[in-house]
Every structure is written in structure tokens, then in C-alpha cells.
Structure 1
Amino acid sequence: MSFVSERIIRARVNLGKNSFTILKVYAPQQGSSEEEKTKFLEELEGQVREIVITGDLNAQIGTDRNGYEEVMVPFGYGRRNVEGEEILKLCIRNHLLVKNTFFKKQDSHKITRYGWDGESKTVIDYILTEKLIGGKVRDTKVIPSEHLDSDYRLLIADLNDKVKSLNAVQRMPKIKE
């Protein structure tokens, strides 16, 4: 494990005969300076290769796939904000998939943050994978009961160690909307 920056930690993981990198990230919040947000995105983009990115991206990607069909499928949540647009652009540039959107779930298994007011609900934590290893993620889900007296919920992924090769090209599933 190594620290890339105060917002990015890098770890190498062995899974079966393959290995890949996981980045744990914490993006600047809304209201942070554009300079800080740009610096984070540049640092993150410099780390993308055979990778899984997980963490609080402080972005809302939403459900609208127009222009982003190659990186997400229709099982997102809510509306997109400016930060979500930037994350999707990063995904396009770096051939990343937003794996949270690949699995149909009830809202309680999608929502990663509940506001203290009891009203606001958002998805700001994501699991992004490089397309070549996207097939290793069998499922993503939020564990609603795991919140440790916090407004955040635990987001997990089930990984598959039976994928033949990291070099095999993954085809995007065709999903009827």
C-alpha cells in the first residue's frame, strides 16, 4: 500500500492468478475551490491503469446515460451534478466503468449517504473499474444497516477470481431501458 496524496491511497491486490490495483479516494466536497477539485482529478487520472477506484467522490452521477452509455447503464440514482459530470468525463477519457450502475437494486442498496435531516438521499460513493477488468466485479451494493452512527452507508463489491484474463476485452452488456 502507498499514499499517492492526502486524498488517494493505492493498494495492489492479488485475486486468483491475476493482480490489480485498488485506489481508495476522497474527493473534495462541493464548495471546495476549483483548483482543489482540478488537482484531485489530475492526481486520480495519473493513477488509472488496470484499476479499481472506490470511495467518496463527492459527485452525483444520476441516471441519465445520454452521452455516457459506454461507461454506465441505467441503474443509477438521482440527478447529476457538476462534479458527477466531471467524473463521467474522467471515465470516458480513461475507459472506466461506473459499476454501481450495472446492477439493479432497490434504493436502500444504492444510496450511500443519508442527510442528517432525514430527507436528503444521494449516491456519492462509487466503484469505478478499468474496462479490461470490469468483469471481475460481480456485484456492488450498499449495506443499509452498516452506518456506524454516520450519514454514510458501506458500499461493497463482490469480486470474481474466475475471469480468464485481464487482457480479454469486456463487452458492455445490452440492457433494455
Structure 2
Amino acid sequence: MLALELKHFGVAVKGVTEARLIGNDSEDIGEGYHLIWSGDQRTKTNGVALVLDSRTRRCLLSYEQISDRILTAQIQHKHGKWTIIVCYAPTNQASDEVKDRFYAQLSSILAKVSPYDGLTLLGDFNGTLRDTDGIWNSVLGPVTPDCLNDNGLRLLQLYNMHDLVITNSLFQRKEVHKYTWYSNDGGTRKMLDYIIVSRHWRSSITNCRTYRSPELGNTDHRLVVSNLRLRLKAQKSDHRPPKLDLNNLTKSNTCQVYGVSISNRFDCLGQISESVEAWQLFKDLQTSKWRTK
């Protein structure tokens, strides 16, 4: 279901929170998409995942499954590397100790990202934002539909420290295209899921909005999509057949071994009546033998 919806909306990279998958693994999920997840080793709690389409996966350099709340990956693009971090923050009701541990770990990861790399954070941060005094202009745009809670304040402080921008707040949209979470009562709605980029990538973001129509399973969250102008660079394949070293034929020992081998192969051909079949067998035997040398 996830792969079909992502293909329909043309999404190349998707961060998933509350994946509830055990352990660390990856697999193809169909429609050309590949799923990488990081979860608890024993129970189906929390969990984060990253979904890549086939083109982006060919540009994947590495990934690290850090915990059931954080997963990182590096993508090669034309001008360098693109670091993606999928996050699932504790709820606003969680203890300060749990929150402090999560944000300290996330801050440590952000500090290790090269300033020359592109950086994108995807995830459910369980924080609502508001800039009433204009002190967060460097982090927030004009769209902040909610009040500021404790998680939101922690987010703003973290993003300001690492020079990040929240793309959800950059574009004026209809109310229904701003909110990312709806409660079961149908009346409560909030912006909790964010796509964040490093400041020098802000001009590369051309759009960000929420889509309500995708069927993503049993979830009360909506799909948030940002458009990013970026030219990826695929990794070179290592599956090319090895070249034959014909210079070995100048060595006397190699010539002798090759002559005996050819003689033995012709002996085998005498047992085959059809010339086309014999020639094909001879080519296959020679190719397989000398490529292994």
C-alpha cells in the first residue's frame, strides 16, 4: 500500500515513523521501492524507516540504524553528499530525561555532518511551533498555525544551533494543507511532522504541503511532501566481467597449459554431432575457464 501511494505521488524518498518493525533490516516492498528500518530488538514499539525508489537507491552510499528513534543515510549527488536523518521524537508528555537523551543524541549526530553536505531531517517531532516575538525568524517561515509547546521549543533551539530551516513553515497553504495530524475526534489537528533542511539548501526547496488522500494504513498522520531540486549521481556498478589478460599467452608455461586445454576441449566436441551446438559449447567452456584465471 505504501509503495503504491508513493509511486502515485511521485515520492522518491520517504521517512516513516512508528514503523513498529522489530530489529534492523531492509527489503524490497514492490513498485521499485526499498525499505530500510531500525526498530527495537524485542518489541514492536517506536521504530523508524526510510523508503527509497530505485533511482535514489542506486545513489545510496551508506546508512546507519542508530536506534528505534533515529536512522541516517547518505546519498551521492552531483556536487557531493546528501545526509538524510529520519527521527521519531518522544511525545510532549514524556519525561524530561527521555527528551534530553533523544535531543542530545540527535544534536551529536547533526554535529558530525559535514558543513559541505546537504542535510534533510524527516519525521514526527511531536512538537508544535509558534514565533510570536520574531526571535526564530532564521528557523521558521510565516506559517506557524499552532501554539508553542515544550517539544517545539526544544526543536527551535536545536535547529537554530545547527542552522536548519523548517520547510513546512515556508509556504502559505490552505488550512487543510498545513496540518499533519488529526485526532480521532475529527476536530483536533496539529502540525507535528516536519521536513527540515540545512539553511544553504533553502533555495532548493520549491514546495511543501500536506496531502490528505493517500491511504497509508492505520495512521492518524498525513503525508507531508517537499519538492527538492537535486541531481543525484548513481554509484558505478562493480559487476562488469573481468578482462582477459592475453599477455599471459606469451609465457611458455601458459601456452603449454592452454594447448593441452584446447586439445581436451576438441576431444569433447567429437562426441557432439551438431556443429552449431559444438561451437557454442566450445565458446562457453573457453570463456568460463579463462575468466577464472
> After TM superposition, is the score higher than 0.5?
yes
Q: Is the helix fraction higher in 1 or 2?
A: 2
- For residues 33 and 23 of structure 1, what CA distance do their matches in structure 2 show? 23
SS in 2 for 1:67: coil
TM-score by length of 1: 0.84
Corresponding residue for 2:140? 72
**Higher RCO, 1 vs 2 (CA within 8 Å, ≥6 residues apart):** 1
8 Å Cα contact 2:167/2:226 also seen in 1: no
- For residues 168 and 65 of structure 2, what CA distance do their matches in structure 1 show? 25
- Aligned AA for 1:156? V
Of residues 120, 126, 149 in structure 1, which corresponds to 2:194? Answer: 126
Runs of 5+ in structure 2 lacking a partner? 1-62, 232-293
8 Å Cα contact 1:147/1:153 also seen in 2: no
Runs of 5+ in structure 1 lacking a partner? 163-177
8 Å Cα contact 1:111/1:122 also seen in 2: yes
1:78 is displaced (CA, Å) by 1.6
Alignment of 1:75-114 (within 5 A): 75-114=143-182
Corresponding residue for 1:174? none
- Aligned AA for 2:204? K
8 Å Cα contact 2:92/2:149 also seen in 1: no
Corresponding residue for 2:229? 160
Figure out how many residues of one structure are paired with residues of the other and give that number.
162
1:133 is displaced (CA, Å) by 2.2
TM-score by length of 2: 0.52
- For residues 166 and 129 of structure 2, what CA distance do their matches in structure 1 show? 9
- Which segments of structure 1 move beyond 6 Å, counting only runs of 4 or more? none
1:2 is displaced (CA, Å) by 1.3
8 Å Cα contact 2:211/2:223 also seen in 1: yes
- Aligned AA for 2:66? V
SS in 2 for 1:5: coil
| Sequence identity (%) | 25
- For residues 203 and 81 of structure 2, what CA distance do their matches in structure 1 show? 14
Corresponding residue for 1:165? none
Corresponding residue for 2:73? 11
